[in-house]
Structure 1
Amino acid sequence: MGKWSPLVAVCLGGFILLVDVTIVTIALPDMARTLDASLNGLQWVIDAYALALAALVLASGSLADQIGRKRTYLGSLVVFGLASLACGLAPTTGILVVSRAVQGIGGAAMLATTLAIVNVTYHGRDRGIALGVWGAVAGAASATGPVVGGLLTEFLGWRWIFLINIPVAVVAIWLTAKVVSESRNPHARGVDVPGVVTFTAGTAAITFGLMEAGQHAWASARVLGWIGAGVVILIGFAVLQARSSNAMLDLGLFRQWSFPVVLLAAMAFSFAAFAYMPFLSVWLQQRLGMQALAAGLVLLPMSLAAFVVAGTVGRHLHSVPFRYTLGVGLGLIGLGALLLTTGDSWAVTLPGMLVTGLGVGVTGQALPGAIMATVPHHRAGMASGALNTFRQLGFALGVAVLGTVVSHAPTFDQGLDSSYVVAGIVGLVVAVLAVALVRSRNAVHDPEVEQVLRAEA
């Protein structure tokens, strides 16, 4: 087979991994009708996947370094494919949520290995081409997710948004087994199991507590108990990381303000730009009576605006101080959320979608470079994994928080409008923090690292 066959193999996996982040959004109303799911249940369908990605992507990278990237990628494709089958056949909301979590476990390992395989397979000019193709495929997956989800849901049913993954995964497994060479890190130290367990338990407990706030008072013992337990567990995680010689996250990186603020910006990026999407989808279909495909097309202007920014000015943004690109990008995302409102037509969403898309384009380009510029080059892998972790964590927590805002409002429309305001405030506040506190250098000067950043953005 040709030299680009390994690239095709990882792009197939990367596509189904990333498309499943957004494809589910449009199918939520149909899932609710079929499974008699509550709003809280629908939130968990989204968050189970995002939390698994957030909790395990760093550990998956360590595992791949130790046992082999090809082996890890093949195993993750098998897990993802079987979990997709379980999602597609799920008879209840509970089984669907568990299956989504398993799907996220496979997705975390795929996310941790795809770029690594490209980096060790290609060199020089070929690496630049391969990373560019991978980045284009990743962008296309995120952009087309709602439209593909609308097509499948409207004409075949929501179960097919998961079942369609199976033939793609089978082809990717076959191709990977034939054309991808094994590689590993001879200096790998293994997986930080205590760190993985405590981080997963802590973030899951806080997310559960936030979701429970949608059904109980914020000051209830149930809500405060879960959130408090999550905070205590995360404190334990920090203690373990400080004492471990094999920590999944080097706490020494937090000694300068720029690193944690960039991670906060990554959380705010996902929170302010995407966390209200599930509720917007419900509004479009249940309040305005739109079909699934039409609702998916309403979300397309954001992706198109982001693509325009990335294709026209994206490559020039690394010459601008990162605090300004993060500030402008998050500021636009916050403004876009504040421009969103409910009404009698989908057209009221257009100004907010477009402005948010511009902010997504700027911030998405800036985040990878900003995080790399705050750490030594030998910590680039950990920094990249931390960035992916906090982006997914911001989405998971955002869905939980905004779900409580929607649940406690007198009407769904009022709750959705309030969720836009909360998202907008988060974006604007973190934009100010980024401008004030990020002090990393303006650019990353390692050419190979720059290629990876462009692909990740």
Structure 2
Amino acid sequence: MTAPAHALRFSSGAGRGALLAAVLASGMVFLDSTVVNVALPRLGAELDATVAGLQWTVNGYALTLAAFVLLGGALGDRFGRRRVFLVGVAWFGVASVACGLAQDTGALVAARFFQGAGGALLTPGSLAVLQASFHPDDRGRAIGAWSGLSGVSAALGPFLGGWLIDTLSWRWIFFINVPVAVGVVLAALRWVPESRDSDASRTGGKRFDVAGALLGALGLAGVTYALVDAPARGLASAPVLVAALVGLLAAVGFALLERRRGDAAMLPVGLFTGRIFPVLNVFTVAVYAALGGFTFFLAVHLQNAVGWSALKTGLATVPMTVLLLLGSARAGALSAKIGPRVPLTAGPVVAAVGLLLLRPVEAGASYWVDVLPGVTLFGLGLTLVVAPLTASVLAAVPDRFAGVASGFNNAASRAGGLLAVAALPLLVGLSGTGYAQRAELTAAYREALGWCAGLLLAGAATAALLVRRPPGEGVASQT
């Protein structure tokens, strides 16, 4: 593997500065993927939202993030990863202010759509700049540190959000992004070197697959709208059926278009010629669907059914923070030594056991007896997965496609969470203002966690059966 010019070393000041910028930026995006869940009961009451309103508050952000994160990676590869990264950070900060100022559900959802688009520009860049800028000998360590610290930001989000919600207002979970965004811009301008795909001119120059991006977004939007709107309108209603059909046709059109465009496509089909890359992304969808569904239901259930405050609800996930902080780098090193199959199989199984332990939680539950064991096991399972999965996805493609590969894997993870939040309330029969009714919410919560545990076990089976590393070869050879 050839080192890039002026490659950063992990122990250097510039290397630590670049890592800081990447971690703060991705942490800001991950934070808003989790912290909003804690705020849902409070903002739902203040804005008089239904279950569908809460779903769109989460999914409006996840939809544009998942739909355009691949385009964000491609833009970075061609125009410059640092440049697109900085645009995304500024965009995200402005959108966060709009979220905090929203006066009704419609305005909040619209701002969340806008915020997700900014996240789609900065998310792939936060990882791609590390892959492209660090010396090959230090990339594994840098990615492991990024995975662990970014995961900590995601897990810390509910705690920080709970404190802000109880002390100030749910609006401050968005306003807090502004100083973080300013810090990221300053750090990136000083320490992150510019990088781009040197073969961009050969693969289409600066012409972009806009049609592919729009078809991908339309596919996700159609399916999501159908799932969210089905409880109110009925599965057989015309709007639901039309939305589902449009989504499916757009998804098929996206696949056909990308195949026809070849190397000029936003998603080059050559990435899927190897077995490991598509398998890892199927695994990603399953695991992150479970994570998205679990975090959506847990935050609402602990507050509206168990009776905890927003701060106590956030504190419930602290063991996940500690485990991700202490264990992600070790999990990445273990995967590099023995291959990704074992951690990617064991992690989801451990996490599924944690969810099953959390199912009986109800009013009067003890944190130490009823919640801590399940959250700890779930966090341990997640720790085994995050760093090995990230490193394996990037190693499975050539370096020049780092942004596209990162973008697609992020899209897969966001799409998994998006579809879970859209589908689970329908599957468990939760609609209208049912999230405010203790008995109805408790029954839905228990059934939803059963579905999430099943998704995790499906991911474990996928890894056990299909993830392989040939003897004497690294994961990177499977391209």
Matched, 1:225 2:242: yes
Alignment of 1:398-409 (within 5 A): 398-408=420-430
Match of 1:343 among 341, 362, 366: 362
Q: Deviations over 1:81-129 (max 9, x none)?
A: 1101000000111111111111111111111222333445554777677
Q: Which residue of 2 aligns with 1:155?
A: 167
* Aligned residue pairs, count: 448
Alignment of 1:57-456 (within 5 A): 57-123=69-135, 131=143, 133-177=145-189, 180-188=192-200, 189=204, 190=206, 191-245=208-262, 246-254=264-272, 258-310=276-328, 312-341=330-359, 342-344=361-363, 345-347=365-367, 348-372=370-394, 374-375=396-397, 379-408=401-430, 411-441=440-470, 445=474
Task: Give the superposition deviation at 1:78.
Answer: 1.7
8 Å Cα contact 1:214-1:405 kept in structure 2? no
8 Å Cα contact 1:335-1:428 kept in structure 2? no
8 Å Cα contact 2:216-2:250 kept in structure 1? yes
Matched, 1:38 2:46: no
SS state at 1:183 partner: coil
Q: State how far apart, in whole Å, the 2-side matches of 1:378 and 1:64 are.
A: 11
Q: Deviations over 1:360-379 (max 9, x none)?
A: 11122332244346545655
8 Å Cα contact 1:306-1:359 kept in structure 2? no
Q: State how far apart, in whole Å, the 2-side matches of 1:179 and 1:374 are.
A: 27
- Where structure 2 has 5 or more consecutive residues not aligned to the other structure, the ranges are 1-12, 432-438
Q: Which residue of 2 aligns with 1:454?
A: none
- Larger mean CA deviation between 122-131 and 21-30 belongs to 122-131
Task: Give the superposition deviation at 1:192.
Answer: 1.6
Q: State how far apart, in whole Å, the 2-side matches of 1:180 and 1:380 are.
A: 16
Q: Deviations over 1:18-69 (max 9, x none)?
A: 2211111111111111111111111111112222221112211221232223
Task: Give the superposition deviation at 1:243.
Answer: 0.4
Q: State how far apart, in whole Å, the 1-side matches of 2:139 and 2:272 are.
A: 32
- Where structure 1 has 5 or more consecutive residues not aligned to the other structure, the ranges are 451-457
8 Å Cα contact 2:351-2:456 kept in structure 1? yes
The one-letter code sitting in structure 1 at the alignment partner of 2:416 is: G
Q: State how far apart, in whole Å, the 1-side matches of 2:467 and 2:146 are.
A: 29
Task: Give the superposition deviation at 1:441.
Answer: 3.8
Task: Give the superposition deviation at 1:287.
Answer: 1.7
**CA gap 1:182/1:104 in 2 versus in 1, 3 angstroms:** same
Give RMSD over aligned pairs.
2.8
**CA gap 1:11/1:411 in 2 versus in 1, 3 angstroms:** closer
- Larger mean CA deviation between 300-309 and 22-31 belongs to 300-309
Q: Deviations over 1:122-164 (max 9, x none)?
A: 5477767755554443122112111010111110111000011
Q: TM-score, normalised by structure 2?
A: 0.85
- Larger mean CA deviation between 61-70 and 201-210 belongs to 61-70
Task: Give the superposition deviation at 1:312.
Answer: 4.7
8 Å Cα contact 2:72-2:407 kept in structure 1? no
Q: State how far apart, in whole Å, the 1-side matches of 2:273 and 2:58 are.
A: 33
Q: Deviations over 1:323-352 (max 9, x none)?
A: 333222222233322332232315333332
SS state at 2:308 partner: coil
